Amino acid sequence: MHVKPLRTLLVPIATLSGLAIALPSLAHSTALDYTVAPAVAVSALYDTGKPMVEAQVSVFSPDDVTTPWITGTTDSQGNFIFMPDPAVTGNWEVQVRQAGHGEVIVIPMATPPSVTENLPPSGSAETATENPEAASAPVDLSPSVMPMSPQPRSSQLSPVQRWTMIGAIIWGFVGTAFFFASRTSVSDPAGEA
Amino acid sequence: MHLPDGLLSAPVCLGGYGLTGLATWYCLRQIQRDPDVSRNMPKASLLTAAFFVASSIHIPIPPTSVHLVLNGLLGTVLGYYAFPAILIGLLFQAVILGHGGMTVLGVNAVMMGVPALVAYQAFQLRRFWRWGSDRSRLGIFAFLAGALGLGLAALIFFVLVMTNIPAAMDAQAERTAIYGLTLAHIPLMLIEGGFTAMLVLFLHQVKPDLLGHHGTP
């Protein structure tokens, strides 16, 4: 069977061309873009080390400390990332709360800020770390990953220091008990009630 | 169960300090009338240390975990000494452990200290109970007092946090979390009640006079 190749090809080409003209809405064109901007990563943990999962977060800009600039929830690791407005400098406040426990952390955003600090455990027993990175005028236009390095604040006590202080306080209470017990035994050598 | 800084408004924090001042003055006045201050002070000091450490002892109660409070135990065993003991313990907890905070120290002291005083009065009710032996009465009322102290503290915590949810927050999600945490304190009430009963029975067996004077009622 002899087949004319030109006629054979013309039919499907014409059909496909017609479809392309008649149904432009079926096309899947995409446009990707990106912006490199300073971000703040907050990590919320209980003092047990357990992350505050799905804790509610309210971010307050320096311009308005009553109405949240943005709200959200922490992820399964207790992390929350937001991009503050680089034009608004000053103290940004981040409040993390869950079941009456929480913390308010103040993040100073200057031009250009480069601050890394940890909050000590709080009452309720949680810690938060933030790592704001800002670029007043981003020159590097390539996408970058902002590191989250939970470096402890210089004022935070090390575990050894902390437990030494706890031990000293307990010994203070025990010493007080011994002091009054000795006074009692001296004043009442017979041990009578 | 400590309320953290930044959760309550300034008037509530000031009110807490006012009530704490009043309660501390009243308790110190009762302690001053106690003829056996030197005898009770070692017990108060040791239990303050226990209270200080207790908040670091976490008990997993799925899906959350709670820590020991021992305010009911302190109230049962120390009487009027319990409030200043709890106040001092909370101060050290806030400064060293970061549990609670300085602005809410007064509120936390009222939240844990006043129920301790209520627990002490509840423990004294054993004298009006005529059924059972002395030992069984002691054990039962110590258990009830220990559990009551923690239960009242949890109730005050519940009311405070439920009435201080910021408007910008998802109130329903926060309420659900608060319900869960409050319910987790029910098993803890049983644990602390049992612990209080064991300590009281131990003191009754070893040195009964330690369960005597706790300031003038």
Q: What is the pLDDT of residues B42-62, one digit of tens each?
A: 999 999 999 999 988 888 887
Token readout for B35 is 């003829």
Contact present, A103 and B103 (Cβ < 8 Å): no
Token readout for B210 is 């330690």
Question: To the nearest whole percent, how much of chain A has pLDDT over 70?
Answer: 56
Full strand arrangement of the beta sheet holding A40-46: A79-82, A40-46, A126-130, A117-118
**Residue A147 confidence (pLDDT):** 35
Conformational region of residue B140, where left means phi above 0, alpha means psi within -120 to 50, and beta covers everything else: alpha
Contacts of A5 (CB under 8 A, 6+ apart): none
Task: State the helix-helix crossing angle for B82-92 and B10-32, rounded to 10 degrees.
Answer: 130
CA distance B124 to B112: 19
> Quick one: closest CA in B to A127, which residue?
B98
CA distance A87 to A95: 21
Question: To the nearest whole percent, how much of chain B has pLDDT over 70?
Answer: 97
Full strand arrangement of the beta sheet holding A56-60: A70-73, A56-60, A90-98, A101-109
Contacts of A184 in chain B (CB under 8 A): 38-39, 42
**Residue B71 confidence (pLDDT):** 95
Please provide the DSSP assignment of B8-35 as one string: S-HHHHHHHHHHHHHHHHHHHHHHHT-T
Number of H helices, E strands in chain B: 8, 2
CA distance B114 to B155: 12
Q: What is the pLDDT of residues A133-192, one digit of tens each?
A: 443 333 333 333 333 333 334 346 788 888 898 999 999 999 999 888 887 766 655 544
Lowest mean pLDDT among A128-137, B7-16, B73-82, B83-92: A128-137
Interface test with A, best of B8, B92, B111, B206 (most A CBs within 10 A): B92
Cβ <8 Å between A177 and B43: yes
Record the pTM.
0.77
Q: What is the pLDDT of residues B4-34, one digit of tens each?
A: 888 888 999 999 999 999 999 999 999 999 8
Q: Mean per-residue pLDDT for A46-58?
A: 88
Cβ <8 Å between B169 and A101: no
Contact present, A153 and A187 (Cβ < 8 Å): no
Contacts of B173 (CB under 8 A, 6+ apart): A54, A56
CA distance B188 to B71: 12
For residue A123, pLDDT beyond 80: no
* Mean predicted lDDT score pLDDT of chain B: 90
What is the count of residue pairs from A and B with beta carbons less than 8 Å apart? 121
Interface test with A, best of B45, B57, B87 (most A CBs within 10 A): B45
What DSSP state is assigned to residue A147?
P
CA distance A177 to B48: 10
CA distance B126 to B204: 14
Contact present, A82 and A41 (Cβ < 8 Å): no
Tell which wins on pLDDT, A12 or A30: A30
Confidence of residue B106 (pLDDT cuts 50, 70, 90): very high
